[in-house]
Chain A
């Protein structure tokens, strides 16, 4: 947990002036020269005044901010309320949050009066998947003469979840279940596939899918795209284990993509009114039955905190629930694609992200 603190340091301009002051003072001392003494005095004066006038209680500023959930790379505007608890007003402060404002400029606060709340909006984007319980803001000021810089770290307890960035799912994955699920049984009495859209016919495709009427109407071969109705419950295994002997710190790109794919897949399935039984294979396996926003929220929080884990065998009883399902997605986030449990699943299993290998 970061500790609120404040520090004063010389700016580049201040360093130059300090060096010149030291040189002039040294010359005045060695040569007992009046002009050098005058030069040293004129150079030292703004340094002394800036140092004395520098605001040192910037870290006595309270920041109030609500909990936030965001997605990696997504821009958001945060509304903050700042209350400065110092004795003097804090002037010309630059407010930034290092975690979220790497590519955004800090916000200039002309004045923070003592004990008066000031509302300010900051633009930020979190570039790293994470779940933090406190947010760290940095207040920086060079007031009044920019020879010294005051830098204060202000912490505030606030839940900040950065969910993995959603990744576009390929059509094979989206339609994987539908291709296997010919007859919806659970929610509708209609049979067969349902029409979804039209797309251009490719030469190597089966000509039986060509929509004759629409092709004749527009003069180009188009074929219908259909999709099946989803089963009521779909299984999803997020395997965070690294293959045996592989270091944990490798495979970051695949890992992040897999978490994004998991989040996107769950969102897609939820849009299609399916419930998802999720098994997260980690050091401490976790199971969710995502059938509402609360469970989806918990799952995304877990994804925000997830990290690759060393390889370990999977307890057989963890798959009991999944064995009863007709279809299951398996996301080898830790790049362990040779898991024997995949073969153990009796029904259809779609491996998401296998193309990384």
Chain B
């Protein structure tokens, strides 16, 4: 294939010389027209928003200023259509120097390599032609060093990479991209391979490599990388646009659709559904009748503990960090639910309600309650996630819960037994790091952010799930600290990860959304927007009986969801809800919402946002469709967006609202009326509610249609007072009063 490509280069060389002559003549003939065009284009290219971007505050990503200067020269000359100077300027930034970050306007910051490549690839027709005239010969000369039978493919790849980065618009740019795509595919980097092949189709529409052939390769890459939706769409497109056409693959003429379908069936479950069946919330439908049985209830905060907590809050009314309305984070995996209650991690079998294991006794926290309301600890930093056979918790040693700025540690437990596998304190480079934000498990590795004690510079780390050893780390940026609770020093924002089909998104909760590649290693782009307000202007006076500010009482957290290639997010401490088209990326819209609002869910049409009311926004128009006031009293703002119903767990029961208009279908009082409400989730055939006191599971009506596994046991009784499964050991019974 490469040899054939090189044959065609001779013809292209001749064409290039002719084109160059035509270009020179054309340039002289059009001088007067260019003079006029310069003004208009220069105004478009001018970066007038630089100053505005500086004032955005919040998360700061380091930008390469020296490279930005050279790049601005290019943009200036390109705007004037002074191509010779423009290309000379870009020539001063060779491929190997394009390693920093550059601003791309509109709050976007992208890697220099991407930014320069993108700007060149999107030159106007005249600029593209000029580019070819100037660089075609050099690119072809470079690519000619590649030999198909070369024993050193690494060197070939390096050359192809240089051609792709610096001379993609030349007549051999598509060949270089194709070569890189093949190499990436062979190395298992299917997403990278798809990107290279897509670039050919986007920027070399008349490629001699053949569109059908490239599309088939793209489809294979999509299939291999498990991006089922894109694969299905592309397969459909191939079937419609190339009916009856064949393509030569491995020396054989094949029908592309048949070939791809056979690949799909051979690969079994390569079209990954992300274990969506396990906790499929769309099975939730209809209202919960009053007789909905309680499957089990586990009270982790005993009555004695509650009394101590209340006393502590009353005694420390002057401070108050919202500890009394805090609902612990939880995660679920299969039929297990795992909570992290101020560092005590415990797992429950959601089918039986049996407490499988816990890291410590629940009442160990009682002695800490007295200090907790005025502790410096950022209680929003506790996190838990499970993957494979491991549970990861971001925790503090309960003994040091109220220590001044005690670093949060990452601890790995065995999912089945709760046995501690490793902890960050024992891993060399992580010893002094404080972990922040729920880790993201990617296969055998995990992605997590850390910062030094008393620092706000965030480092992104990839660790091995098995032992916590570090694969790599890189600086992500510097956060602007935020003061939320009363009379306390500022705290770092807690970032949130979201894995999409081809990227990992990091919502900083500090005025930036960062897109990483699928492995989370390389930054693809950063979208900067208004950061949290400076704390300097905040009032520092409170009255004793003053109600807690909503943002503290509701423990508002940032959240991000992705629907059909659009990321919707709302940061903590921000009053804006965003919709960003990830393919651009491009901000589709943003709208004001309350600072304490939390993006609780989404379906195909709407976004559901919670404060002390639930609001449904139209995804397309950003218009508020309906809202309903709810008796929400504490943290754990969440909603199950079911097939036709939205379920919210409040301190007056579970509200079942019609998705279309918010009309109340029913209020199921349940067994947690003494709590503040909190998280709600469908776990298998159970509807699980996690409050500030207990974890309760119900058997919803829709569970009758779900086939449970063979280990499923019927719930003991529907009476919450007696329904908790007997604990495994006597000490548990002391703590669980339910």
**Are A and B co-members of a single complex?**
no
A interface residue numbers (CB < 8 A to B): none
